[in-house]
Chain A
Amino acid sequence: MPSSTIRITVNGAAHDIDAAPDTPLLYVLRDDLGLTGPKFGCGLGQCGACMVHIDGAAVHSCRTPLSAAARGPITTIEGLGTPEKPHPVQQAFIDEQAAQCGYCMNGMIMSAAALLAKTKSPTRQQIRSTLNGNLCRCGTHMRIVRAVERAASLGASQSGGSDE
């Protein structure tokens, strides 16, 4: 596909991207915008490592063509918070020490943040089923669920504002 210029908004800033419209958003974020928080895990929509928010919904950026990514504001994990000022979900994951290698964390945190923005106090069952498409090989599942519950109790939903 020949390239064309497509405007996307990421973490509040507009970018004109010159790339083939079928380029998966993941590579645009990582290679063109230097946002390497979203990770490549499978490219197949099977693992969740690549998740970002578009219009507040968690989506697989590996399966979202650039052309479709222009439909709404995009938030990456970098846009949620920083090491100095983490988003409540990120803070809860730190508090619970809910990672080992951390490669899956992008997907876990973006999934959880999207859930909590809509559902203030999810049940454990809701958390598990929301995260069921996110794979973790280190086996950090128990801590991740605890972290999401902690985030809910910290009121993570209130800061949905930073999520555009």
Chain B
Amino acid sequence: MSSTTTRRDFLKRTGVLVVGFSLGLHSRADAAVFETGAAPAANQLDSWLAINADGTITVYSGKVELGTGVSTALRQIVAEELDAPFEKIAWVQGDSDRTVDQGSTVGSQTIKRGGAQLRMAAATARAALLELAAPKLGAAPGSLEVASGVVRVHGDPSRHISFAELLGGKRFERTVNSAAVPKATTAYTIVGKPVHRVELPAKMTGRHTYVQDVKVDGMLHARVVRPASIGAKLLSVDDSALGAIPGARVIRKADFLAVVAPREYDAIRAAAAIKPAWSESATLPPMDELKQTLMSIPSTERGVASDGTSGAGRVAKRLAATYKWPFQMHASIGPSCGVADVRNGKATVWSSTQGSHTLKSAIAHLLGMQPDDVHVIWIEGSGCYGHNGSDDAAADAAVISREVGAPVRVQWSRADEHGWEPKGAAMVMQVAAGIDASGKIADWDYQVWTPTHSSRPGAQPGGEANFIAARLMGMVPSSRGSLGGERNAAHTYSVPAMKVRAHLLERAPLRTSSLRGLGSPQNTFANESFMDELAQLAGVDPIEFRLRHLSDPRAVAAINAVARLAKWTPRVSGSSRAPSNGVARGRGMAFVRYEGTEASVAAIVDVEVDQAQHRVRVTHAYVAHDCGLIVNPDGLKNQIEGNVIQAASRALNEAVQFDRSRVTSLDWRGYPILRFADAPDAVDVVLIDHPELPSVGAGEASTSPIPAAIANAIFDATGVRLRDVPLRV
């Protein structure tokens, strides 16, 4: 049997019932690419898009929709470059057999890098269509133009031919031209427009398929039963109560424990009915010693920046401060879910992973299979904001499916998600600086203690050990270095002497991985709180103080724009307000140039502080945002508003609680996130568009300045400087 028939039979047999798939499964002009099991080649135009016989255009995107609207924005880019009608574009995303490996959908790189790749593919396709049309229309390619999926003779539109007539159902058979000339941005008609999100009507009417909704013929329901504490060993399992639950059984592989049953509620009951015995030990530090713990874990020092010599001779006043940030959660509203069908040496996995191609290899290594025998089909999940439990749930499903020889759906419980998702990293930041007699910074010394912000499964052998399932089965992840903790450790202000060091911890009390912004919100909280502290020391308005140290015109423009938007009145922080009715009000600002070179974001927040009730609410937030060329302004605003609220929640509410052996924040009471009652009255955003400049990422950047802006506003309101997140009055 050839692998072709195997894959097809396999798809047929698994009988995917899910609506959303039908779009993806038809219409490949030539299916040869996905029959091999290997990812399509990036240099082949047919890997990116197909002109179908019915006039639709199917685009194959390795980047996936994570709830931020990028699949709409990417469609705009393709429609623009191809001069194709937006609504004729069908979208296939994150399928390890059928989409190019564009790298995982992470780090706010989707429009910047993924969009650039799709733009070149579409530009190549447009040129190819012109070439094909020239002989048919009896005109030189130079005399042709493209509009709305039709090639026509310039000045003689009656001579025209559609994309489908030119190529419908056939392959381009050419490589992507890396020298193709994309359209001038001045000619854009759809990029830059607030096009409505394509999938929202389905999402608003309960018809959108999330990974939690995937149903495969013959599928069993599984629940994982995680150890009673971190590192606990499974001694025995009493499953005598399962007799009363139809079809329920236990799956055990070392410390990996799960139950399966034909019906979902029976799986839930079975998970509660078995009685595992665990040997536990205390592996965690006392929560109130987190700072000392982080600062004493063995670490490697990395120099992030070192400019100039000490400003000692010029310093008039000195200040030093330490800031702390706790472990936080992704806290997706839908707990992670994975579906897998592992039979006859092949595996199909449905997952809301950020990286289908990496997941495919990692699952193959976990199961002892060849990567090309594993097919990962991405299906949207609940918003993830980084590396949540999606990959782990997929691995759980694969392990269990192989054991039972049937398709398996693993749905994590709320406690599984809260307890076992990888956590955003706790960090400690120390800053010391001096200001000179003129009120300018003379020197700056910054240190951060940070665990890694990435423990994703890797595509290389050994990378699978990062799955929870692998760890529970006895694998030990090898250290892959530390990532993300230095993000925005160095600010972008001009100071004559600056030293920035990161202490990269060898380990952390809890498993840490990417949460929106990685180390940037933490570092920006420290840098931008400290900027306000220095402004105070210098007796200067916080905005004026920042502008004294900025030469980057885009930074200056963003700060001035937000000041205008909020009608900022220059003053020394904390000088103006008296509480009324026990509620103090204040206003604070912060700025970040994300990763030093990406989006410029300036934020101002107004807060009300009820000290008797220990309650802080952001009443109004203002953001000015410059990320270069804007593809979809409404999608961008939506993302910024979301970042403001999520960041306010992280700054004011959130810290993962744990005892000496386990995470104890296991539900929404134990890990409260911002609710409607605490939401701002308004979030106002001003977008600074630069069509002449390339787009940079906008997914995360506006998270970073918010916590410091809030801390600065609380100081303005109360005169109390809070340096520990969550900010508690």
Report if A46-B673 is in contact (Cβ < 8 Å); known contacts: A37-B207, A94-B204, A99-B203. no
Q: Which residues of A contact B197 (CB under 8 A)?
A: 97, 99
Report if A27-B333 is in contact (Cβ < 8 Å); known contacts: A105-B203, A135-B675. no
Q: Which residues of A contact B203 (CB under 8 A)?
A: 99, 102, 105
Q: Mark A28-45, 1 if CB is under 8 A from B, else 0.
A: 001100111111111110
Is A134 engaged at the interface, CB distance under 8 Å to the other chain? yes
**How many chain A residues touch B (Cβ–Cβ < 8 Å)?**
60
Q: Which residues of A contact B667 (CB under 8 A)?
A: 42, 44, 46
* Segment touching B, from A53-61, A74-82, A115-123, A156-164: A74-82
Q: Mark A51-77, 1 if CB is under 8 A from B, else 0.
A: 000000000000000000000000011
Is B718 engaged at the interface, CB distance under 8 Å to the other chain? no
Q: Is B645 within 8 A of A139, CB to CB?
A: yes
**Whole-angstrom CA separation of A76 from B205 in the bound complex:** 9
**Whole-angstrom CA separation of A125 from B200 in the bound complex:** 26
Report if A39-B212 is in contact (Cβ < 8 Å); known contacts: A90-B205, A139-B644, A142-B682. yes
Q: Size range of the interface on B?
A: 35 or more
Is B285 engaged at the interface, CB distance under 8 Å to the other chain? no
Is B471 engaged at the interface, CB distance under 8 Å to the other chain? no
**Whole-angstrom CA separation of A34 from B19 in the bound complex:** 11
Q: Is A80 within 8 A of B205, CB to CB?
A: yes
Is B141 engaged at the interface, CB distance under 8 Å to the other chain? no
**Whole-angstrom CA separation of A83 from B200 in the bound complex:** 9
Is A7 engaged at the interface, CB distance under 8 Å to the other chain? no
- Contact residues, B646-678 vs A (CB, 8 A): 646, 649, 667-669, 673-677
Report if A138-B642 is in contact (Cβ < 8 Å); known contacts: A24-B265, A44-B414, A97-B634. yes
Is B520 engaged at the interface, CB distance under 8 Å to the other chain? no
Q: Is B206 within 8 A of A76, CB to CB?
A: yes
Report if A78-B207 is in contact (Cβ < 8 Å); known contacts: A31-B264, A100-B69. yes
Q: Is B68 within 8 A of A103, CB to CB?
A: no
Closest chain B CB from A74 CB (angstroms): 13
Report if A40-B675 is in contact (Cβ < 8 Å); known contacts: A83-B205, A139-B646. no
Q: Is B196 within 8 A of A94, CB to CB?
A: yes
Is B247 engaged at the interface, CB distance under 8 Å to the other chain? no
- Contact residues, B401-426 vs A (CB, 8 A): 411, 413-414
| Residue from the list A46, A97, A131, A145 in contact with B200, Cβ < 8 A | A97
Closest chain A CB from B389 CB (angstroms): 13
Q: Which residues of B contact A137 (CB under 8 A)?
A: 330-333, 382-383, 385, 646, 673
Q: Is A31 within 8 A of B263, CB to CB?
A: yes
Chain B residue with minimal CB distance to A134? B676
> Could you list 23 A-B pairs, sorted by A, with CB under 8 Å?
A24-B265, A42-B414, A46-B668, A77-B205, A78-B205, A80-B205, A81-B205, A83-B207, A97-B196, A97-B197, A100-B639, A101-B383, A103-B332, A103-B381, A106-B206, A129-B677, A135-B673, A137-B332, A137-B385, A139-B649, A140-B638, A142-B641, A142-B679
Report which B residues bind A (CB closer than 8 A): 66-69, 196-197, 199-210, 212-213, 215, 221, 263-265, 268, 330-335, 380-383, 385, 411, 413-414, 634-635, 638-639, 641-646, 649, 667-669, 673-677, 679-680, 682-683
